[in-house]
Amino acid sequence: MSGIKIALDVFGGDQAPDVNIDGAISILKEGKFDVELFLVGKEETIREMLGERGFHHEKLHIVDAPEVFGMAEKPSNVLRRKDTSLYRTAQLVKEGKVDAMVSAGNTGAVLAVALFVVGRIKGIERGAIATPIPSKRGFTVLLDCGANIEVRPEHLRDFGKMGYHYARILGKESPKVGLLNVGEEEEKGNKDTRAAFELLKEALGGDFYGNVEGRDILYGNVDVVVTDGFKGNVAMKAIEGAAKFIGDVLKAQIKASGFSGLLGGLLLRNAFKRLKKTLDPSEYGGAFVLGVKGVVTKAHGNSNALAIKNAIKVAYEGVKGGLVKKLQSEFGGD
Amino acid sequence: MSGIKIALDVFGGDQAPDVNIDGAISILKEGKFDVELFLVGKEETIREMLGERGFHHEKLHIVDAPEVFGMAEKPSNVLRRKDTSLYRTAQLVKEGKVDAMVSAGNTGAVLAVALFVVGRIKGIERGAIATPIPSKRGFTVLLDCGANIEVRPEHLRDFGKMGYHYARILGKESPKVGLLNVGEEEEKGNKDTRAAFELLKEALGGDFYGNVEGRDILYGNVDVVVTDGFKGNVAMKAIEGAAKFIGDVLKAQIKASGFSGLLGGLLLRNAFKRLKKTLDPSEYGGAFVLGVKGVVTKAHGNSNALAIKNAIKVAYEGVKGGLVKKLQSEFGGD
């Protein structure tokens, strides 16, 4: 096939539009991925910005969208605001004009256009936000990270199946899936987790590892951790807070060491930089909305150009790996 | 009053009995706290260990308990095993022979003896495990950390009131209490969190901060974070896993720096040690079971002597600060 077509919501994200433009340019300049990019947003602004950067490429197109959907707007409003760059980006997926979309915009609104513009795969009742989190195993996929505050055991089973395929796309050959619980023993948790345990065992067989605990997200023996969107959101943000706090403590120590200009201080500073890089979600290219009829990648709201570039890469991998088709055949729908 | 009487479950914890004996000796040697300690466990063993250490003190007593409750036993079994050191420790509280108890034993079993031997305060339907977690604000109290997998909004309100008083005992003058949610806005979450929000506002007035997110446990503007025992457990363990993972990354960097013997390597090593100390729960002396008619302190299962010593200190502060009486008058019970 010719290049994989990916639409980018240029006006989504805290640092839009610059980081989106730069991320797009960077992946085309790199030239390693056979992508064709559609920059969606205020045409004139995009044209100007490309001009300023002196960048033109036959695989770079502009799709006009005069409005911007705000990072703090009520997510469901996006469905009425059809002239926003976010809505139009999703519409390109819906109409089959592109294979995938990337947005660093308002998470709830990206979820809304994924579910209601792109549309759910038949047989999947609930879409889920799946986030790869840096871990001992390279990364671990956590889902759901906030699409569903409350779920039934069948939904957790579906998340397990979707997470499995997503982890494969991201490069895990034979992913192990765990169910987030308060202990490892089979009888732990409540009625719902026990029912989900049985359903996951039935659906995944030997790829289901069993119950895991919060510490196993970063430090465990599974590649995918399944939970509801409330606990997933709490866990993800608790880890984020921990990393930030630890970063601050280290920074204070570099300062207090009194050697900040010397070899020791430099080493500390470098160790800290590498630590940040290891923990940086930008390196992993953002989350997927799983369960919809298209590859929808949600980059972190605070993405820089590198994060956008990596999000485009994982969208590319998602299309190349046939994620949507795999889920359609897995769930028997279309 | 004469010394505050505290019973110590000498055979509780992964490193029992040594760390318990050494923790007890250490606080008496330090002599800063007016405590009278009751070492509960196999009398002969305890006597021998004290002999080996050449330590005798008029404020150190032994209470015989011939059996040990295992770290991996089914918690509820403890209620039938009345000759275990854990059960007899709780019985001393129940009988008013001591003011407080400390155990590093099986968490579920400590909870069971707290609720069913020591007994709940009238007017409090659910006890809760409250854990001080190192944070940007020195520490933040998270509760419930695992006593109740499911709760009603009224329970979350009660946790807020109990957490407030506990944080004061630990030294926060005017603690701010937050409700763990998926976003800060008042309407976030589900029916239960919205109901709990209203109840907490009513009960705590200006001391209720509102909704907080997972990242606020370590990096926020509240001193107490209230949630159910499932999410509390997940958050606490997710943070634990993050700290461990980050520690490993740093260790690897020290090694890779190639300067491990030089000034730079030493600085890295020291920074790492200080980081570990900052994050070490031993420094904060363990969790309380709140809502029962006695001060019940649960030290981490993996406690060392320092952690036991600090757990005895916070038990002392709990008694001195009149925590139980405060909760009794707050909840109108006895």
User: At A109, which CATH number?
Assistant: 3.40.718.10
Q: Are residues B1 and B81 in the same domain?
A: yes
Contact B189/A230, CB-based, under 8 Å? yes
Q: Are residues B231 and B151 in the same domain?
A: yes
pLDDT at B270 over 90: no
Contact B253/A231, CB-based, under 8 Å? no
Q: Are residues B106 and B142 in the same domain?
A: no
- Contact list in A for residue B136 (CB cut-off 8 A) is 245, 248
Q: For A165-198, what is the HEC assignment?
A: HHHHHCCCCCCCEEEECCCCCCCCCCHHHHHHHH
Other CB atoms closer than 10 Å to residue A133's CB: what's the count?
Answer: 23
Residue B327's closest CA among B139, B34, B151, B130? B130
Residue B286 within a domain: no
- Contact list in A for residue B231 (CB cut-off 8 A) is 230-231, 234
Residues with pLDDT less than 50, chain A: 1
Q: Residue A255: what pLDDT?
A: 74
Q: At residue B96, what are phi and psi to the nearest 5 degrees?
A: 75, 15
- Contact list in A for residue B237 (CB cut-off 8 A) is 213-215
Residue B178 within a domain: yes
CB of A230 within 8 A of CB of B189?
yes
Q: Are residues B204 and B173 in the same domain?
A: yes
Q: Are residues B61 and B92 in the same domain?
A: yes
d(CA B265, CA A263): 10
pLDDT at B52 over 90: yes
Q: Residue A282: what pLDDT?
A: 61
Q: Residue A281: what pLDDT?
A: 61
Q: Are residues B179 and B267 in the same domain?
A: yes
Bridge partners, residue A297, by sequence = A102, A288
d(CA A231, CA B149): 13
DSSP assignment, residue B121?
P
d(CA B52, CA A166): 59
DSSP assignment, residue A74?
-
Residue A310 within a domain: yes
Nearest by CB to A278, which of B213, B217, B249?
B249
**Which span out of B236-240, B294-298, B330-334 was modeled with the highest average pLDDT?**
B294-298
Nearest by CB to A149, which of B190, B227, B265?
B190
pLDDT at B226 over 60: yes
Q: Residue A334: what pLDDT?
A: 64
Q: Nearest-CA residue of chain B relative to A278?
A: B249
Contacts of B230 (CB under 8 A, 6+ apart): A182, A189, A190, A231, B149, B150
Q: Residue B258: what pLDDT?
A: 66
Contacts of B103 (CB under 8 A, 6+ apart): B8, B9, B12, B13, B86, B89, B110, B296, B297, B298, B299
For residue B329, count CB atoms less than 10 angstroms from its CB and return exposed for 0-12, middle for 13-18, buried for 19 or more.
Answer: exposed
Q: Residue A262: what pLDDT?
A: 61
Cα–Cα distance list, A278 to A170, B129, B261, B291 (Å): 17, 33, 25, 42
d(CA B271, CA B281): 18
Residue span of the structural domain in which B39 resides? 1-124+291-334
Q: Residue B326: what pLDDT?
A: 94
d(CA A86, CA A110): 7
Residue B189 Cα, gap to closest chain A Cα (Å): 7
CB of A298 within 8 A of CB of A71?
no
Interface mutation vs chain B, best among A267, A272, A283, most B CBs within 10 Å: A267
Residue A209's closest CA among A236, A237, A174, A235? A174
Structural domain tally of chain B?
A: 2
Q: What angle do CA A71, B223, B163 make, to 5 degrees?
A: 120
Contact B249/A217, CB-based, under 8 Å? no
Residue A267 within a domain: no
CB pairs under 8 A between A and B: 178
Contacts of A40 (CB under 8 A, 6+ apart): A7, A8, A9, A10, A62, A63, A65, A85, A88, A89, A92
- Contact list in B for residue A234 (CB cut-off 8 A) is 180, 182, 213-214, 227, 231, 234-235, 238
d(CA B202, CA B196): 10
Residue A8's closest CA among A49, A32, A146? A49
CB of A19 within 8 A of CB of A104?
yes
For residue B258, count CB atoms less than 10 angstroms from its CB and return exposed for 0-12, middle for 13-18, buried for 19 or more.
Answer: exposed
Nearest by CB to B271, which of A227, A240, A268?
A268
The answer to whether the bond into B66 is cis (omega within 30° of 0) is no
d(CA A153, CA A172): 25
Interface mutation vs chain B, best among A135, A218, A259, A277, most B CBs within 10 Å: A218
Interface mutation vs chain A, best among B215, B236, B263, B279, most A CBs within 10 Å: B215
Bridge partners, residue B288, by sequence = B130, B297
Cα–Cα distance list, B266 to A267, B177, B258, B269 (Å): 10, 40, 11, 5
CB of A103 within 8 A of CB of A86?
yes
Q: Residue A249: what pLDDT?
A: 81
Residue A81 within a domain: yes
Q: Residue B186: what pLDDT?
A: 87
- Contact list in B for residue A244 (CB cut-off 8 A) is 215, 218-219
Q: Are residues B218 and B249 in the same domain?
A: yes
Residue A170's closest CA among A271, A13, A316, A294? A316
Pairing relationship of beta strands B177-180 and B128-135 according to DSSP bridges: unpaired
Residue B119 within a domain: yes
Bridge partners, residue A179, by sequence = A211, A226
A100 versus B241: the higher-pLDDT residue is A100
Other CB atoms closer than 10 Å to residue B275's CB: what's the count?
Answer: 19
Q: Are residues B5 and B51 in the same domain?
A: yes
Interface mutation vs chain B, best among A191, A246, A272, A275, most B CBs within 10 Å: A246
Residue A282 within a domain: no
Contacts of B84 (CB under 8 A, 6+ apart): B11, B65, B67, B68, B69, B78
- Contact list in B for residue A231 (CB cut-off 8 A) is 230-231, 234
Residue A48 within a domain: yes
d(CA B142, CA B231): 10
- Contact list in A for residue B220 (CB cut-off 8 A) is 241
Q: Residue B333: what pLDDT?
A: 65
Residue B92 Cα, gap to closest chain A Cα (Å): 30
Q: What angle do CA B173, B314, B57 make, to 5 degrees?
A: 140
Contacts of B293 (CB under 8 A, 6+ apart): B93, B118, B119, B120, B121, B324, B328, B334
B71 versus B267: the higher-pLDDT residue is B71
- What confidence tier does B268 reach under pLDDT thresholds 50, 70, 90? low
- Contact list in B for residue A259 (CB cut-off 8 A) is 263, 267
Q: Are residues B197 and B226 in the same domain?
A: yes
Q: What confidence tens digit (pLDDT) does each residue in B187-217 have?
A: 889 999 999 999 999 999 999 999 999 999 9
Q: Nearest-CA residue of chain A relative to B265?
A: A264
